[in-house]
Homo-oligomer: A and B are copies of this chain.
Amino acid sequence: MAESGVAPAGGELDEEFAVPSHVDDVTEQIAAFAAGHGAGGRRVVLITSGGTKVPLESRTVRFLDNFSSGRRGASSAEYFLDAGYAVVFLHRHRSLYPYARMYSGINLLDTLQIKRDCDQVVVNQQVLPNIAKVLQRYQQVKEDGLLLSIEFSTLSEYLHLLKAAAQALSKLGSQAMFYLAAAVSDFYIPASEMPEHKIQSSNGPLQITMEMVPKILSPLVKDWAPRAFVISFKLETDASILLDRARNALDTYSHQAVVANVLDTRRGYVVVVTPETQAELILTDEDVRKEVEIEELIVSNLTAAHSQFMNKHQS
């Protein structure tokens, strides 16, 4: 999620970005999920994950995209589940998914064998290491109803579904966390300025002018879920501007923390920045050998901070 000093979005969302048809259904689903878990005293985290698609043509052939496999969001979901949270996983269609992410990029058909004697198709467990253990954990999470999956593809869908989710989760007050790990586009082409048909290449070089996407963090913190614990992410390629940009975001939006990271080192190093603190989380060589993931450290840091936040705000 990008942040900088720009006019906040709110009412104008509907004018500039088409409302997805299923937004009411999703709102109801999330509200029911939140009510069920909230009543049991369970914390709920909304994780956003993956990149957004920004169409360049209204009958879309071309689009602008953000680099994001959804790895950070998907693995974080697992650690939040381990920590006892219920998870709303708002993710880009076909981006990585909790548990299944471990086997992404593997051709399903390369993992299977036909067993003629028992008329079964079985998994080759050499090709899918730990599959029985992972499957068991996944099935347990499903059975307990702890993971609610919501998909988006375009920027418009993302913005509207996030708004719907925020409003549905706001009833949980400080018990709700927002973990905004999705790689959201900073730019878009307003519907009114978009060509209907495929841009013709014979017309010569292509000039594209894109407007800035309204900063959704502002209404989220101020209006939609003002009592929640909100974490945004800042990804830069230039390390020298990273911390300034993170501090700037906290000043602008007054939320609780920014997870700051640099593209090249993002799997081994992040800084969790809050108004008062700055915690460097680093994977040691030993961690890497043991296949510890940085998301385990991030989630551990933030769940502790969330506990403190809840204690302060419950009175």
Contacts and interface: CB of A to CB of B under 8 A. Distances in A.
Interface of A: 2, 4-6, 53, 56-57, 59-67, 94, 97, 99-100, 103, 105, 107-109, 112, 114-115, 118, 120-123, 125, 128, 131-132, 134-136, 138-139, 183, 185-187, 196-202, 204-213, 235-238, 263-264
B207 A207 contact: yes
Main SS of chain A's interface residues? mixed
A100 B103 CA distance: 14
A273 to B, nearest CB: 18
A132 B205 CA distance: 50
Contacts of A208: 206-210
Contact of A121 (B123, B187, B263): B123
A5 to B, nearest CB: 7
B118 A132 contact: no
Nearest to A60: B67
A210 B201 contact: no
Contact of A123 (B122, B139, B210): B122
Contacts of A60: 67
13 contacts: A61-B66, A63-B66, A99-B109, A103-B108, A109-B134, A109-B135, A186-B206, A187-B206, A197-B238, A198-B237, A198-B238, A206-B209, A208-B209
B122 A183 contact: no
Contacts of A134: 109
B105 A97 contact: no
A255 to B, nearest CB: 18
B211 A205 contact: yes
